[in-house]
Chains A and B, each alone.
Chain A
Amino acid sequence: MNPTLVRWLQAPSIIVLFLWMIVPLSMTIYFSTIRYNLFYPERTGFVGLQNYEFFWTDAAFFPALLNTLILVGSVLVITIVLGLAIAILIDRPFRGRGIARVMLISPFFIMPTVSALVWKNMMMDPNNGLFAAFANALGFTPIEWLQSVPLLSIIIMVSWQWTPFAILIFMTSLQSQDQEQKEAATLDGAGFWAQFFNLTLPHLARPISIVLLIQMIFHLSIFAEIFVTTSGGPGVSSTNLTYLIYIQSQQAFDVGVASAGGVFAIILANIVAIFLIRAVGKTLTV
């Protein structure tokens, strides 16, 4: 192919992605420095870092940041530990394994809004939900999940959705593990745990780091589950950064402050991304 043609073929994807990145990004940064509220169009002008200060000193900011970190952190731990355990269980051949696999990964394909509704109503409802029925059957008082432990409820929902993703990745990776090495280890008398720590875990190091990083990116911007179930409440007890910015923009209509929050979210995501790009860059063979 001649070089000019190559350039022409590559151009569209590079140009549209460049625009998609640079136009909204520069607008966000610009908005974050001006006074801009859709309710008060007459108030304008440059305000420097005032929007940032406003966002930063908002009483909801630190709870939201903390909730974001708790949410991301606990979902990561749960999904990786559970995902690993289940992937190893499912790795051995047994009758009906295909069906069990399909059942295990299905939650990942359920749309987040549906997942949220199913959990909120049919599982966690304090009167008619299944959890309540269980609690009653065992003689306990049912918990009002979304009222009394909103963040935990959301952690359960998100973990249900994302553990299958971890299972899928680990399962795929386990298939490429050297079986002869494992057999040799068994012959040498290495037990399950010795094999797990010395062979399996090192083999899974890269998949684990990738699951960690991809999930971090996705969980930093969890939205639908909170929107559908708790609306960030009660109070701000289940508000994360994404939801806080959403509230600023869609309910307070404060473009300036929402943009300042957006810049903050971008910085946070990119701190995570630096590691992701490194991890992936190493593995991409060009």
Chain B
Amino acid sequence: MTDKQLKTLKNRLAVAGAWIAACIFFFPIFWMVLTSFKTEAQAIAVPPLLFFEPTLDNYLEIQERTNYTKFAINSVITAFGGTAIALLIAIPSAYAMAFNTTKYTKDILMWMLSTKMLPAVGVLMPIYLLAQNLNIFDTKILLVVIYALMNLPIVMLILFNYFREIPKEILEASRMDGTSTYNEIRQIVMPLAWGGIASTALLSIILCWNEAFWSIVLTTTEASTLTAFVASFQAPEGLFWAKVSAVSTLACAPIVVFGWLAQKQLVQGLTFGAVK
């Protein structure tokens, strides 16, 4: 075999390896979606069925027989609400810090980041009891507040990085022209920062949507999100795989798509901009 042939062979092997890895990692998701189109008997068939007549019955039954819609609405409200509040608090702060950086800015940001190191289980009891005593246990407002606070440090850091990338010269020029701070933000900064804010929001929505600990501990029936709803299927008795798969598929589909869109922000956000 010549060197060139050897190189081609190695390349082919590497590509094959990549595809095998991709298929293995994606397989459980594929299988979940596939199972959601089976009947219950087909879902637990031995040996497992790869080919069958697909049915939409599971999806229809979920709509009829469970409170799926309610939990989906709860997930939407808490994920979007938490994100909105986090953004509302973070945008002015990150803006102020990015354009008026002082020697304390870095320390403040690092301190904010350090609040992420408080494990949820470490503050479980106080939050639980506060929620009970304030009569907001099992309400959406409680989850919205917790999600907002939980994501605030990450949102702050990403927004700070985005605002930093806006060229200062543009702002200086407009200041020379006597533009007010309000107009400066509205006409110059926001249009430039819009993309960054949107992708930060996307990341925050993903994190809220998939959050499991607080939604399981702090809700029972009224404010439960899809994560908590799915967790309620943990008991083995009377488990319906096809229906559980349909619920799971519905719960994950939008967020997986969001995830594909927010790949880059995810890297920046979760590594705090340290990996480019």
Contacts and interface: CB of A to CB of B under 8 A. Distances in A.
A221 B214 CA distance: 12
Contacts of A101: 22
Nearest to A3: B100
Contacts of A97: 18
Interface stretch (B51-59, B85-93, B136-144, B190-198): B85-93
B37 interface: no
B48 A100 contact: no
Nearest to B181: A1
Interface in B227-276: 227-228, 230-231, 233-234, 239, 241, 244-245, 248, 251-252, 255-256, 258-260, 263-264, 266-267, 270-276
B22 A266 contact: no
Contact of B213 (A13, A100, A220, A221): A221
A259 B252 contact: no
B275 A172 contact: yes
B22 A13 contact: no
A121 B271 contact: no
Contacts of B259: 105-106, 108-109
Given A86-B18, A114-B252, A270-B117, A23 B126 contact: yes
B1 interface: no
A113 B128 contact: no
Contacts of A217: 116-117
**Chain B residues touching A, range:** 35 or more
B100 A104 contact: no
B223 interface: no
Interface string A1-41: 10101100111111011001101110110010000000000
A14 to B, nearest CB: 7
B48 A130 contact: yes
B3 to A, nearest CB: 12
B17 A89 contact: yes
Nearest to A217: B117
Contact of B231 (A3, A104, A122, A227): A227
B227 A17 contact: no
Most buried by B among A103, A136, A164: A103
A190 B21 CA distance: 27
A90 B22 CA distance: 10
Given A28-B123, A172-B267, A111 B210 contact: yes
Contacts of B134: none
B206 A94 contact: no
Contact of B31 (A122, A164, A263): A122
B95 interface: yes
B129 interface: yes
Contact of B21 (A89, A128, A246): A89
Nearest to A270: B117
B120 to A, nearest CB: 6
Given A107-B29, A223-B213, A31 B126 contact: yes
B251 to A, nearest CB: 6
B119 A13 contact: no
Most buried by A among B19, B22, B46: B22
Contact of B25 (A28, A163, A255, A281): A163
B183 interface: no
B110 A169 contact: no
Given A16-B89, A269-B118, A224 B106 contact: no
B126 A89 contact: no
B248 to A, nearest CB: 4
B275 A207 contact: yes
A104 B22 contact: yes
Interface in B82-111: 89-90, 92-97, 99-101, 105-106, 108-110
Interface of B: 11, 14-15, 17-19, 21-23, 25-26, 28-29, 31-32, 35, 44-48, 89-90, 92-97, 99-101, 105-106, 108-110, 112-130, 149, 152-153, 156, 181, 206, 209-210, 212-213, 216-217, 226-228, 230-231, 233-234, 239, 241, 244-245, 248, 251-252, 255-256, 258-260, 263-264, 266-267, 270-276
4 tightest A-B CB contacts, nearest first: A109-B259, A24-B123, A224-B212, A27-B126
24 contacts: A5-B96, A10-B93, A20-B152, A106-B256, A109-B210, A110-B29, A111-B251, A113-B231, A117-B248, A119-B28, A121-B241, A122-B245, A136-B47, A160-B28, A172-B264, A227-B231, A227-B234, A242-B119, A255-B125, A258-B124, A262-B125, A273-B114, A277-B113, A280-B272
